[in-house]
Structure formats: C-alpha cells, structure tokens
Structure 1
C-alpha cells in the first residue's frame, strides 16, 4: 500500500509518539512527587495544553507554506533539546521542579502542535483516498502502540532511575525521530494552498485564517464533528489530568501501578485498532464512531462512581482506550468535507476547537480539585456527552459520508 518514503516517515512517527508518551507518563509523576497536590497536577496539565491550542493556527499556516518535512523535523529537534536541557536543570535546581517542567511542557506542547498538523496535512497527499481508512488506522495503531511502549519503558526504567531521569530517554527518541524525517527528501515540501495566491495574500496571516474559518462554517457536518470531539476531549482531559493523582493519591497505589495502568490502556487501544479491518468489513466507520463515543461516556460514568480501584481501571480504560476508534472516524469523515488546498488551515482550526477543552479540563481540575472530589467532575461530563449524542450524533447520520456504503464513501 505504501512506498519507502511513507514507511520511513511512519517509522519516525513511532519514535516521535514514543517520546510524547514518555513525557505524558513522566511529567505527572514528576509534578505529583514534587508537590503531592492534585491542584498542581491540574495546573500542569493546563500549562501543557494551552500552547498546543494557541499554536495550532500557526501550525496550519506553516504546514501549508513550509512543508511537512521541514516543520516535523524542527519540532522534534526542539523537543529533544528541551528534554535534554530540562533533565540537566532538574539535577542542578531540584527545588524548581514545577517551574522547569512547566516550561518544558509549554515548549513541547508548541512543538507537538507543529508535528501533529504536519502529519495530518502530509499523509493525505501520500496515501490514495481508498486507503485513508487503513492509513488512519495505522497511525492510530502507532499512537496506541507508543501508549503501551512508553509507560512500559518508563515503568521498567523506574526500577533503576527517578521519574525525572526519564527525560533523557525522551530526548533520545525525539532525536531519532528527527533524523529519520531529515533523511527524506521532498516529503510534503509543496504548499498547494498558496500556489495561486498573490504575494500580499501569502503574507497576510489573517487572510489565511479567514479562509479556514469560512470553510469550516460552510459545513455543518464539520461543526457537528467538532462538538462531539470537544466533548470527548473534555472527558479524556480530566481523566489524564487526574490519572496520577487518583491512582497514587486517592486509591493509594504505587508509581509502578500507574505505569501498569497506562500500559493496560495502551494495550486496549491497540487491540481495538487491530480489530479495525475486521470491523470495516462488517459495519460502517460511522457505526464505529458512535459505539466508541458511547463507550467513552460509559467509562466516564464508571470513573465517577468507582469506589474501588478495579472499577476505576475499567472506567479509565474505556475513556482513554476507545479514543483510537473514535479518532479514526473523526479523521476519515472530516477529510471528505475539506478542500485539499485548504487542508492545513481548516484542520488546524478544527484541532484548535477540538482541543480547546483539554486545557479547560486542566483548569477545572486545578480550580475544583482543592475543594470538591475530582470524581464529581465526571458526572457532569457524562451528562454533557448524553446531550451531545442527542443533539449532534443522531442528526449527523443522515449526512455523514462514513454512514454510507463503502463504495459511496470512497467516491465522495
């Protein structure tokens, strides 16, 4: 299905997502070990996601203008350097752990946005439309596989080193990723979105943003997809922001148990994506999306009511583990409604809106976590998911391309 360039690019993506997963595993433990506060964990999550959010429009413009290879390589080089410098700084100033990790998260979050949009805008240029479902499934399998390998590697390394020393490993895998993409030539270097624009338009960032906003507003299906994804991300964000605090603090488990929990969730995500080819032969991508959305909502409800750790694990696993299937549905459906020349700008705006609830979840945990049980937040989000299903998901069925027979979806 793919040529050598794509396999090298995807291989580099494995290392890049592994580095991101190592950071997501290590940073909550570093912060919680240093502060012992669920409020500070929520604040750290907010700091991590705000730069991802605010830099997305810039990422879309850069992806359309600069090209995927250059943007992707620069992002991973910067992340490798940031992890290396932070690891050195933590050794010198251990009393400044929160400030140093907050700065690391902010920079890495900015770079993550650049790499993510570079990937989203480049893959559709390299993969035929009829193979998009397979390609997106493969990308989700890479993400989920890294979700297994990251905590597994982190948990194993914790036998010999401190959580802060995991930053050295993250720096190494980001460096390997950047070298892989740097070895490719001509990958995503064209900028179709600006090919026919005037010189003034190419310099006008606001013009490009208006093009993306206009295209998004013109398609009610895209707006419905955004609303659904914002709901899912709010639940996932609260789960991620409170995972270490609930596991280690509320339920009294060890750091290694938290690593095992993350590994279990990654295995679940990977298992569901291995089932994707079998599922695609039997049900529509839309049906996969609706079932995964319902499973995520049920998971949030279980977290809210869990009196014991095993029930919490089940709810947490559904919340995070079913996101892979839901993301495949979202990514495939939205590509049918976006013009190729505007893909980077429109996708960056969509992801900006989608992920706006991630820093919101960190803010909620930071504000509410000090005086209200964190599990109570999950009740509210589960109720919101029920409303989103009734108002957005059911009406979407009549228009969604992925709800049609496979041959119609390919031709759309």
Structure 2
C-alpha cells in the first residue's frame, strides 16, 4: 500500500511539474506576442518571481500549522483555477490586455512556493526514513523529466491550438495533481506537524548564524551571480528567440527543451565526475561554463549559438548546485540548517526577479545582448573578488566526495 501511495504521489508531482513547465513556456510567449516589448517581458518575469520569494518564509509556517498535504492540494487547486479563469477571459475578451496574465502569474508564483515546501513536509509521511534517499532520487528524476517533457508537449500542442489555449493544459496538470494528493488520505493519516513556531524569531536566529560565517555569504554571492545570468536567459528567451532571431513559437520550446536535456545529462554525469574531481572543482568549472554561456548569448551571431549559450547557462546549474549544497553543510550547525538554508535560498534567488527588473528598466533602449554582456562581465568580476577567499576556506577541495543523492542537484 505504501509503495502504491508513493507512486500516486510521484505521478501527481509529474503532472504538477508538467503544468509548471507549460506555464513557464506559455506566459513569456503570450506576453511577447501580445506586446512585442522586451521591457514588458522582463516586467512579467519580475512579477512571476517576486511572489515566490516573498512567500517562501510563510510556506513553512503554513505547512506546519495546516498540514503539508492540505497546503499542497490548496496550492495546486488555486493554480488550476487561476489558469482556467485566465484562459476564459482571454478567449471571451481577447482585448483584455496583460492584466489577467500578470494576476495569474502572481497567484501561481505564490502558490508554487507553498507547494514546494508542502512537498518537503508531506514526503516523510509517505516514505520511511530508510527509503528516503531512493524516494528523493525518484522525485528529482521526475522533476528533471518534466523539464524536458513540458516544453516538448507545449510545442506539440501549439501545432493544433493557439498559445492562449495552453493554459487549459496547465490547469489540467495542476487539477490532476491536487486530486492525486487528495486521494492519499486513504490508508493513513497525513497530519500537520506538531508544534507552532514563531516566524520572526526563527528568521532572526537563522540570519545571525548566516552573518557569522563569511564563507556562507561568499557562497550566496556566487549563487546570486549565477542566478543573474540564468534569470536574464529565462526573462529574455521569448524576445531573443522570436524577436532578435526571428524563430517560430515551436522553436522557442527548443530553448527550454535544450536546457532540460543538458540539465539531465549533467545530473547523470555527476557520479562519474565525483570519482575524478572534488566537489569544489566541479563547482568552479560549472560556474565558468555558466559564465561562458552568458558571454556566448551576449555575442551570439545566430540562433544556434544563442541556444548553446542558453543551454550551458541553465543546464549546468545542477553541477554548480551540488557544490553549493555540499559546501554549505560544512559551515552550518545541524540544529540550524533549516533556518539558515531557507534564508540562503531566499537570498540566492533574489537575483532572479532582479534580472527581470533590469530587463524591464533597460530593455526598451538597450539591446538585450548588451545587457547579457554587462551582466556576464559583472559576474566575472564578482567571481574574481570572491575566488581567493573562498578557495582558501573551502572544505570540498579535496578529497573527491562520494556521489550525493539526486536531490543534491535540485534548487539552491
């Protein structure tokens, strides 16, 4: 029964991931097709990411007090409803503008963080601790699979339907995901975590522990530099593909598909790499390749070169994340890991909405490739400033570490 319940949960996560990936493909396409504006595409990306970050500190509190399963069902249910309402508005009132899309994005972004944290609190109630590593591996493989299947499915659907109708596919994925987790009530009780924690004291304690370790702050700095380039790639994928290089909507899907394939390839190469190199050097190589991807996008003379740069910048984040996740565990006391890591994730991802804001402010009068060039040069300078101190303190330089579980290659 337990294996069946986990399989249902895994299937629900796959459906939710597919809905997420189709949504991430459809929204930039709809925004750029509706406005033709690089700046508004950047603004849309900013609006998509800011609620995710704002809601992160609240997500754990909600999961503890309400129960991870209930939060998960509510989050995916709300995302399904938002997609349905927006699809109806855009079908019945084609001239409604960007407002419905932006509101849907903000709500879905807020719910994404809730579902992500709720997942972490629900899984231990479905899987015994002895099988947790195996379960996390399956879960990470499911997430990576969705990142490849989602864009491919979106591209196929665009052959038969307009981009606005993709929202129905997103709604179906979220609705089926919520229904699947709702069915997990049979056979066992999934209850809220015991106890209630005050939010502000927890955050203050985590912030104090983070500020006390300069190495952790340097890791945050490196992650923010990586996310700046990745954020620009995500925020400008539609303007670069459709506008600058004059490609089709289906070709836009190949950008996300390439990023997903490279990400899975890096994930599969990790055990081989860890037998030959230390985690530290894998992280440094990944950073330099991500930086190279940014420079390639900044000077790409054709769509093929742009696709290569985009794939390198996004697809190799998994390798870089292994270094970040492994190194930071050496500097955080076990009893403070949850608080400190949640703050690090929050800070690491601040440069994602910042990338969207930069495009929104400068995209109308500065060529997109010049924005990539400046961001890449800033990241290179930041790396040079951080490298020496980090190299001297890093505890993952030697010897090569055993291969981490698949979840190590997940989000920072």
TM-score tier by shorter-chain length is 0.7 to 0.9
Structure 1 pair 34/213, CA: closer, same or farther in 2 (3 Å)? Answer: same
Partner residue of 2:260 out of 242, 266, 273:
266
- Which whole-Å CA distance do the structure 2 matches of 1:137 and 1:348 have between them? 21
Deviation (angstroms), 1:139: 4.7
Deviation (angstroms), 1:276: 2.0
Preserved contact between residue 278 and residue 396 of structure 2 (Cα < 8 Å): yes
Preserved contact between residue 63 and residue 118 of structure 2 (Cα < 8 Å): yes
Structure 1 pair 378/336, CA: closer, same or farther in 2 (3 Å)? Answer: same
Deviation (angstroms), 1:405: 3.9
Write out per-residue CA displacement over residues 285-337 of structure 1, whole angstroms, 9 at most, x where no aligned residue. Answer: 33322221111100000011112221111111111111122233333444555
Q: Which residue of 2 aligns with 1:280?
A: 274
- Which whole-Å CA distance do the structure 1 matches of 2:128 and 2:220 have between them? 24
Q: Does 1:145 align with 2:145?
A: yes
Q: Does 1:167 align with 2:167?
A: yes
In the TM superposition, 1:24-39 aligns within 5 A as: 24-39=24-39
Deviation (angstroms), 1:90: 1.2
Q: Which residue of 1 aligns with 2:373?
A: 379
Q: Which is worse superposed, 334-343 or 359-368? A: 334-343
- Which whole-Å CA distance do the structure 1 matches of 2:180 and 2:334 have between them? 26
Partner residue of 2:210 out of 211, 216, 219:
216
In the TM superposition, 1:159-308 aligns within 5 A as: 159-184=159-184, 189=191, 191=193, 194=195, 202=197, 204-308=198-302
In the TM superposition, 1:13-412 aligns within 5 A as: 13-120=13-120, 139-184=139-184, 189=191, 191=193, 194=195, 202=197, 204-335=198-329, 337-338=331-332, 342-405=336-399
- Which whole-Å CA distance do the structure 2 matches of 1:301 and 1:177 have between them? 39
Preserved contact between residue 60 and residue 348 of structure 1 (Cα < 8 Å): no
- Consecutive unaligned residues of structure 1, counting only runs of 5 or more, are 196-201
Deviation (angstroms), 1:119: 3.8
Matched residue SS, 2:184: coil
- Which whole-Å CA distance do the structure 2 matches of 1:131 and 1:284 have between them? 25
Matched residue SS, 1:76: helix
Structure 1 pair 173/402, CA: closer, same or farther in 2 (3 Å)? Answer: farther
Structure 1 pair 314/123, CA: closer, same or farther in 2 (3 Å)? Answer: same
Preserved contact between residue 219 and residue 337 of structure 1 (Cα < 8 Å): yes
Q: Which is worse superposed, 320-329 or 241-250? A: 320-329
Preserved contact between residue 137 and residue 328 of structure 1 (Cα < 8 Å): no
Preserved contact between residue 237 and residue 255 of structure 2 (Cα < 8 Å): no
Structure 1 pair 273/345, CA: closer, same or farther in 2 (3 Å)? Answer: same
Preserved contact between residue 274 and residue 403 of structure 2 (Cα < 8 Å): no
- Which whole-Å CA distance do the structure 1 matches of 2:58 and 2:21 have between them? 24
Structure 1 pair 286/215, CA: closer, same or farther in 2 (3 Å)? Answer: same
- Which whole-Å CA distance do the structure 1 matches of 2:378 and 2:260 have between them? 26
Preserved contact between residue 30 and residue 163 of structure 2 (Cα < 8 Å): yes
Deviation (angstroms), 1:144: 2.9
Normalised TM-score (structure 1): 0.87
- Which whole-Å CA distance do the structure 1 matches of 2:119 and 2:151 have between them? 23
Structure 1 pair 264/318, CA: closer, same or farther in 2 (3 Å)? Answer: same
Preserved contact between residue 279 and residue 401 of structure 2 (Cα < 8 Å): no
Structure 1 pair 408/288, CA: closer, same or farther in 2 (3 Å)? Answer: closer
Deviation (angstroms), 1:398: 4.8
- Consecutive unaligned residues of structure 2, counting only runs of 5 or more, are 405-412
Structure 1 pair 225/316, CA: closer, same or farther in 2 (3 Å)? Answer: same
Q: Which is worse superposed, 338-347 or 227-236? A: 338-347
Matched residue SS, 1:275: helix
Structure 1 pair 264/407, CA: closer, same or farther in 2 (3 Å)? Answer: closer
Q: Which is worse superposed, 220-229 or 255-264? A: 220-229
Q: Which is worse superposed, 223-232 or 322-331? A: 322-331
Q: Cα RMSD over matched residues?
A: 3.0
Write out per-residue CA displacement over residues 330-363 of structure 1, whole angstroms, 9 at most, x where no aligned residue. Answer: 3344455555655554333222211111111111
- Which whole-Å CA distance do the structure 2 matches of 1:269 and 1:409 have between them? 17
- Which whole-Å CA distance do the structure 2 matches of 1:295 and 1:365 have between them? 23
Normalised TM-score (structure 2): 0.87
Deviation (angstroms), 1:3: 6.1
Deviation (angstroms), 1:364: 0.7
Matched residue SS, 2:48: helix
Structure 1 pair 276/408, CA: closer, same or farther in 2 (3 Å)? Answer: closer
Q: Which is worse superposed, 220-229 or 336-345? A: 336-345
Deviation (angstroms), 1:397: 4.3
Matched residue SS, 2:301: coil
